[in-house]
Structure 1
Amino acid sequence: MFFLLLLSIFTFISALGTFIIERYSFINAPFLQNINSEKPIETSLTIIIPAYNEELNIAKCLKSLSEIKRPSVNFKILVVDDLSTDKTFLEVKNLKENIFKNSKELEIISSGKRPEDKNWVGKNWPCYVGSKKINSEWILFIDADVILGKNCIYNALFKAREDNIDLLSLAPKVNCNCLAEWMVQPIMTSLLMIGFPISDTNDSRNNTSFAAGPFMLFKKESYELIGGHEATFDEVVEDIALAKKIKNRNLKLNFLIAIKDISLNMYQDFNSLIEGWSKNWFLGLEKDLFRSISGSIFVFLNFSLPWLLFFISLIILFNNYSLNILCTTLFTFLALCTYLFKRIWLKVKYEIPSKYWYLNGIGGIIVFYISLLSIYKTYTGNGWTWKGRNLSKG
């Protein structure tokens, strides 16, 4: 029973420590600032949207783009359809006609078949194809499942030009579209805040490099200098790989929180969530077995163990009262209250919903499973897919 008490004390200290670290990270994190100007910026910008089987998302993305404040004098949107097997291409053509009134500022092209001499994976190929079709000063890569606020791109472009940033990436608000996301995404957000401190990413003296694939704004000459997506053709987690290349060239990398300016619809159901995170987890930790396993254990201990201990101690307490078990129950209860307080604080301070917070215990078990599955898939290639495409074969 004394062992359970020690575990409960650990869960409380861990929950409190995690909250303090996350709170510090959020408070000290730079946010994208709004610019009160209606004048297009004197530069050129192309937005490239790689799209593979995005018929459920592409309409919302393009509709949001049709309503943005014009970011630059010369401006273009290029959708690169990566040989979708659904109605993505047709959907974009319809939107071009009905929403954009056949404007030349929106173009859709096909990526064509991937070359067989290289193991092109993920969205690297359509991004590469798109980058070869443009000549603007700036390139913005966004995912087809993002929804942009009216001022988001303008504010980002202004910031990048003013501060001479070579790669500016934004952290979006992650929308939860299914119960599985409500259980898992808040945990993943916590891990990213702890594992990739924004202050370290933005510090040129620090080797930590991070970028979010849904929004990556490059100075074109810097993008070409690091080799662009051709240099990361076989990288599944290409956003972090590109961020590292920027820093390795002593170029300026900046990562900002923009949860009020851009939102992201990552997954539609449990299966796609498992497929998506299991392709990224192990590679995101640089295939470091120790970090991956210890990270999964941390998640279980921090998010799932408090719930298990709480219910176990309650059952024991009702059947066989003891001071140790009472204290165990109280400490695990405090750990759960700490997590709830963190979620309430995030909701009040940053409008991040606290819905289904009480399911984080199940979420911790799911993340633990994802981490082990990711290791297995990455090493063996079995089931290592994204939207049905085998990542081990391109």
Structure 2
Amino acid sequence: MANSLFLTAVPAIFLLLQIPATLILLKRLSTARDRNPPLQPLASDPQSITPQVSIVIPTLNEIERLPTCLEGLRHQAAREIIVVDSRSQDGTPEYVQKLQKEFPIPLKLVTDDPLPEGWVGRPWALHNGFLQSDPSSEWILGIDADTVPQHGLVASFVQQATIDGFDIVSLSPKFILKTAGEQWLQPALLITLIYRFGATGDRSQFTEDRVMANGQCFLSKRAKLVELNGYELAKSSFCDDVTLARAAAQRGAKVGFLDGAALMQVRMYTSMAETWREWGRSLDLKDASTPSQTLGDCLLLTAVQGLPLPILLTLLLWQYVALLPMSLAMNIWLWLNAFLVLIRVLLVFGIRGSYTDVGFGFWLSPLADPFAVFRIWLSASSKPKSWRGRTYD
């Protein structure tokens, strides 16, 4: 009797969580075919776009990554490039000063003031860059130093933003992963975003408080930033991009998130450990979400990404190795989790275009799903104490 109750009750409890979560996931994935197509570089940069854009790059000890970024911006359609340096000690400002005379686009170096109370370093640097930008620029484009801009990025981005009437819009990149550990863990972390918010460019998913954004390439109308008082609304956020985008959407701004894999590449982190530590502690997006949204996202990820593979393997061992009896509920449970694992395997092929090169670690990334979900739970339950070389109280 007790054994029969166990065979029915345990699967039923999990199914109560997993079935609704699966339906939510299927709804989010079903609209991917209707998303905006990936942006493509323009064959030439229209001169009409050139004076409209001020590019802001926040830096703190970025000497190893900034040269590649600036090289990619050398022939972009922009009025000016503003490097906002937060007192780097690795030669970053000296490098920018050397480039200023020969750079084809006006290149400004700004040292931001000491971090005020309540501000996080990145939004403070971006805020200072906005304040120092040319008032005649119609657009402010924030770009991270670890990005590799491709030819035609700015022209294509601004043109699409103008056509669609966006006030704020950002791009998803193509990721550069070099080690097997990165290729194993990073796609699993990326999938947590797709499961929560759908495919990049799919605007049918988003309500004002569920907008997605990527600060690595973040374009804003200058007039909208003036209205929002720059980055003030995201000053204390460790995911300032999403926080600002959602705050703007809630105030009536038209916000977009587009596929920019053909326009920019990014080498975010250099190892699996750094990916786990740095990206993992902001990926929960709790600074831009209510506690109930954060909890709901964690439960959803647990149900459809973290649990399916362990449950499937356990039930297969139960049935075919231990030769133990399976109740109807257990069989339903097995097939549901097999279906969820199949979805995840298919998504490996679906996100292949978001990476430059992949190895065996990438194709084995579904095995990292339980760890990725665990990392989201860890991040959601704590506040970062340090970020990009700064320590916060």
Same-fold call, TM > 0.5?
Answer: yes
Mapped partners of 2:11, 2:292: distance in 1 = 28
The equivalences for 1:186-265 within 5 A come to 186-197=187-198, 198-200=201-203, 206-265=208-267
Deviation of 1:150 (Å): 0.5
Assess if the C-alpha contact under 8 Å between 1:343 and 1:353 holds in 2. no
Mapped partners of 1:161, 1:238: distance in 2 = 23
Q: Please name the residue that 1:368 is paired with.
A: 373
The equivalences for 1:113-192 within 5 A come to 113-115=114-116, 118-135=117-134, 136-192=137-193
SS at match of 2:121: coil
Output the TM-score relative to the length of structure 2: 0.79
Deviation of 1:109 (Å): 2.7
Q: Please name the residue that 2:352 is paired with.
A: 347
Paired letter, 2:225 = Y
Q: 1:50 aligns with which of 46, 51, 58?
A: 58
Question: Do the aligned partners of residues 210 and 339 (structure 1) sit closer, same or farther apart at CA in structure 2, a change above 3 Å counting?
Answer: closer
- 365-374 vs 194-203, which moves further: 194-203
Mapped partners of 1:101, 1:365: distance in 2 = 50
Mapped partners of 1:335, 1:208: distance in 2 = 24
Mapped partners of 1:159, 1:242: distance in 2 = 21
Paired letter, 1:280 = S
SS at match of 1:132: helix
SS at match of 2:218: strand
Question: Do the aligned partners of residues 194 and 285 (structure 1) sit closer, same or farther apart at CA in structure 2, a change above 3 Å counting?
Answer: farther
Mapped partners of 2:22, 2:219: distance in 1 = 35
Does residue 344 of structure 2 align to residue 377 of structure 1? Answer: no
Does residue 304 of structure 2 align to residue 302 of structure 1? Answer: yes
Q: Please name the residue that 1:280 is paired with.
A: 282
Mapped partners of 1:190, 1:226: distance in 2 = 31
Mapped partners of 2:233, 2:167: distance in 1 = 17
Q: Which runs of 5+ in 1 are unaligned?
A: none
Q: 1:21 aligns with which of 18, 28, 39?
A: 28
Mapped partners of 1:334, 1:241: distance in 2 = 34
Q: Please name the residue that 1:269 is paired with.
A: 271
Mapped partners of 1:169, 1:349: distance in 2 = 15
Mapped partners of 1:282, 1:343: distance in 2 = 21
Deviation of 1:213 (Å): 0.7
Mapped partners of 2:215, 2:59: distance in 1 = 13
Mapped partners of 2:89, 2:26: distance in 1 = 44
- 139-148 vs 277-286, which moves further: 277-286
Q: Deviations over 1:292-319 (max 9, x none)?
A: 3443343344334333234434544554
Q: Please name the residue that 1:32 is paired with.
A: 39
Q: Deviations over 1:82-121 (max 9, x none)?
A: 1123333344345x27xx8355622323224224xx3221
Q: Please name the residue that 2:106 is paired with.
A: 105
Deviation of 1:50 (Å): 0.2
Q: Deviations over 1:269-314 (max 9, x none)?
A: 3443233345424543645444434433433443343332344345
Q: Deviations over 1:169-215 (max 9, x none)?
A: 11222333444543443234333234335544797x85543321111
Assess if the C-alpha contact under 8 Å between 1:31 and 1:257 holds in 2. yes
Does residue 70 of structure 2 align to residue 71 of structure 1? Answer: no
Paired letter, 2:112 = S
Paired letter, 2:65 = N
Deviation of 1:142 (Å): 0.7
Mapped partners of 1:26, 1:354: distance in 2 = 27
Question: Do the aligned partners of residues 337 and 92 (structure 1) sit closer, same or farther apart at CA in structure 2, a change above 3 Å counting?
Answer: same
RMSD, aligned CA: 3.7
Assess if the C-alpha contact under 8 Å between 2:180 and 2:362 holds in 1. no
Assess if the C-alpha contact under 8 Å between 1:64 and 1:150 holds in 2. yes
Assess if the C-alpha contact under 8 Å between 1:347 and 1:354 holds in 2. no
SS at match of 2:323: coil
Question: Do the aligned partners of residues 13 and 340 (structure 1) sit closer, same or farther apart at CA in structure 2, a change above 3 Å counting?
Answer: farther
Question: Do the aligned partners of residues 338 and 11 (structure 1) sit closer, same or farther apart at CA in structure 2, a change above 3 Å counting?
Answer: farther
Deviation of 1:343 (Å): 1.6
Output the TM-score relative to the length of structure 1: 0.79
Question: Do the aligned partners of residues 35 and 247 (structure 1) sit closer, same or farther apart at CA in structure 2, a change above 3 Å counting?
Answer: same
Deviation of 1:57 (Å): 1.7
Paired letter, 1:71 = A
Deviation of 1:385 (Å): 1.4
Assess if the C-alpha contact under 8 Å between 1:8 and 1:332 holds in 2. no
Assess if the C-alpha contact under 8 Å between 1:201 and 1:253 holds in 2. no
Q: Please name the residue that 1:87 is paired with.
A: 91
Assess if the C-alpha contact under 8 Å between 2:143 and 2:215 holds in 1. yes
Paired letter, 2:131 = K
Paired letter, 1:121 = V
- 311-320 vs 55-64, which moves further: 311-320
SS at match of 1:53: coil
Q: Please name the residue that 2:70 is paired with.
A: 62
Mapped partners of 1:231, 1:338: distance in 2 = 37
Deviation of 1:155 (Å): 0.5
Q: Which runs of 5+ in 2 are unaligned?
A: 1-5
Assess if the C-alpha contact under 8 Å between 2:285 and 2:294 holds in 1. no
Question: Do the aligned partners of residues 356 and 300 (structure 1) sit closer, same or farther apart at CA in structure 2, a change above 3 Å counting?
Answer: farther
Deviation of 1:31 (Å): 3.1
Question: Do the aligned partners of residues 286 and 221 (structure 1) sit closer, same or farther apart at CA in structure 2, a change above 3 Å counting?
Answer: closer
Deviation of 1:224 (Å): 0.9
The number of residue pairs the alignment matches comes to 378
Deviation of 1:62 (Å): 1.3
